[in-house]
Structure 1
């Protein structure tokens, strides 16, 4: 493909692999977040001080950011899934039009 060529190609297998990787990564993140949250909750059963309060606030902020990242990852995965469906449908339609 030359640099002046405005066309592009989509590798559906790579797109499918990316969708799977995002789902796997999301599940792994969820597991780690749950583990961290459990450990921090256990820590705060016996720890109370201004440092504990600061740590709890930092942890809550960190968890909120991680939750936002997960939401964005889910949205990106859904966009990729819709794109995969659209490209697949377009390919099938074009093949049916041009025997």
Structure 2
């Protein structure tokens, strides 16, 4: 087992980029889900029977998993945003303390 490092650093700009990319990814996923849903509705307008029912059931399960993944991405984005705010506040507090000493 390795010892914990004595210090760590956070690149606030990079963290912000990651949070922004998660937001963009979530938006892209929402668009993808809407587009796919529209295509499936068109498909099922002219398709029925056992195969259509099986596909629709599979589609609903896939959409549920997709929504779960999307929700997880939104939670990670929120956590990243909170981390960024916390680290930025810590930096500001440390700078303010050093400014008082100088």
Please, what TM-score do these two structures have when normalized by structure 2? Answer: 0.91
For residues 43-80 of structure 1, give each alpha carbon's deviation from its aligned partner in whole angstroms, at most 9, with x where no partner exists: 11110010000000000000010001111101110000
Structure 1: runs of 5+ lacking an equivalent: none
RMSD between aligned residues? 1.2
Number of aligned residue pairs: 97
Structure 2: runs of 5+ lacking an equivalent: none
Query: CA distance change for structure 1 residues 4 and 80 in 2, over 3 Å: closer, same or farther?
Result: closer
> Hey, what's the Cα distance between the residues in 1 that align with 2:5 and 2:30?
42
> Hey, what's the Cα distance between the residues in 1 that align with 2:42 and 2:4?
60
Partner of 1:26: 26
Partner of 2:83: 83
